[in-house]
Amino acid sequence: MADVTIPGGTADLANAARNLAVIYSGKNARILLDLHDQLTDDVIRLIKMQLKAEEPAYATAASAIQDASEYIGDGMKKIDDIAKGIDLLKKVADAVVKLVTLA
């Protein structure tokens, strides 16, 4: 996975979280908006970093991004299980935080 994919994938999922927040309501919408904010903040940090593909945290983040992207897509429509979607986004957020702390 190229270095651009982690920041780009994270940015795409931040947008998907925002899109889903518009579709859903209540607690799920709030969680999705919080994840959007966190992922957006982390994208800026990721862009500034020199990502190293050999870091275990890199592979973890790349895998989490891929899994979430495959399940959520662009977030423009309801997904089968919003709780699963939120869990996948949380895994991305956690993996990205670990990657950012390596800098």
Q: Flag whether pLDDT at 3 surpasses 60.
A: no
Q: Are 4 and 62 in contact (CB under 8 A)?
A: no
Better-predicted residue by pLDDT, 4 or 39:
39
| Cα–Cα distance list, 44 to 1, 52, 80, 92, 101 (Å) | 19, 17, 31, 15, 13
For the segment 36-45, what is each residue's pLDDT rounded down to a tens digit? 999 999 998 8
Residue 94 CB neighbour total at 10 angstroms: 14
For the segment 11-33, what is each residue's pLDDT rounded down to a tens digit? 999 999 999 999 998 999 999 99
Q: Flag whether pLDDT at 103 surpasses 80.
A: no
Range of the domain at 83: 5-100
Structural domains of the chain, count: 1
Distance CA 12, CA 40 (A): 9
